[in-house]
Amino acid sequence: MMKVGLNSAMLTVTAFLASVALSMAVELKNPSFEEADTSADNTYGDRAQAWGRWGHWINRETEWKPVRTGTCIIGYHHWQISEKDNSGLYQDVEGVQANQKVTFSIYASKDEKANNEKVELRLEPLNGGDPLATQIYTMEEINTGWTQLSVTGTTKAKGVRVLVICYPKQSEGRDGALRFDDAEIVAK
């Protein structure tokens, strides 16, 4: 009797360990934006190490509060935007296998006056390409406290690019700001 119970317990422990191994955090570099890009062309120190960016007024901020953890965040200065184009940041993550389900998440917080059109999280193939998955969030879905945003998709090849895209209000009267902190990617 004891042997059967022990074997059953061993199978349960083995199954649990296998499920933990299948769902693991993949290394996302500088996920809380604490490290500044140290390249010579980062004169203002407003770019985060390991993160690319495009557009206007999406910067690493060391003085903005509240932060979720650490001392830095990414701030989207919506009130400064004069163009209708989007702005964003991205990172290429090589530690994801082909045909693997991945979830990318990041925490967002908005000013009460923030009137952006939306925020999009996107997964693309490594180095960019047609989207593998997207998730759109309206300003009503983002709190003035921290809200976790996420997108889930399946890779087609090794590696993935994760993106955060901010869309400004398409007419005049842009106001407020967004804050981003504590990004994470989990592969299953």
pLDDT (tens digit per residue) in 155-168: 999 999 999 999 99
The predicted model scores a pTM of 0.86
Q: Which residues pair with 88 in a beta bridge?
A: 54, 165
Is the pLDDT at 95 greater than 50? The verdict is yes
Determine the Cα–Cα distance for residues 116 and 119; give it in Å rounded to an integer.
8
- With cut-offs at 50, 70 and 90, classify the pLDDT of residue 8: low
Amino acid at 24: M
Two structure tokens written together for 145: 């406290």
Amino acid at 164: V
- With cut-offs at 50, 70 and 90, classify the pLDDT of residue 19: very low
Q: What is the phi-psi region of residue 30: left when phi exceeds 0, alpha when psi lies from -120 to 50, beta otherwise?
A: left
The residue ranges of every structural domain in the chain are 25-187
Determine the Cα–Cα distance for residues 184 and 30; give it in Å rounded to an integer.
10
Taking the chain, what is the end-to-end CA distance rounded to the nearest angstrom?
36
Q: What is the DSSP string of 79-108?
A: GG--SSS-EEEEEEE----TT-EEEEEEEE
CATH topology of domain 25-187: Jelly Rolls (2.60.120)
Q: How many whole angstroms from its chain centre is CA 133?
A: 13
Determine the Cα–Cα distance for residues 82 and 31; give it in Å rounded to an integer.
29
Instruction: Name the residue with tokens 């903005």.
Output: 64
pLDDT (tens digit per residue) in 31-89: 999 999 988 788 788 999 999 999 999 999 999 999 999 999 999 999 999 999 999 99
Determine the Cα–Cα distance for residues 25 and 103; give it in Å rounded to an integer.
10
Determine the Cα–Cα distance for residues 144 and 126; give it in Å rounded to an integer.
32
Asked if 132 and 160 touch (Cβ cutoff 8 Å), the reply is yes
Instruction: Name the residue with tokens 């317990």.
Output: 9
Asked if 183 and 163 touch (Cβ cutoff 8 Å), the reply is no
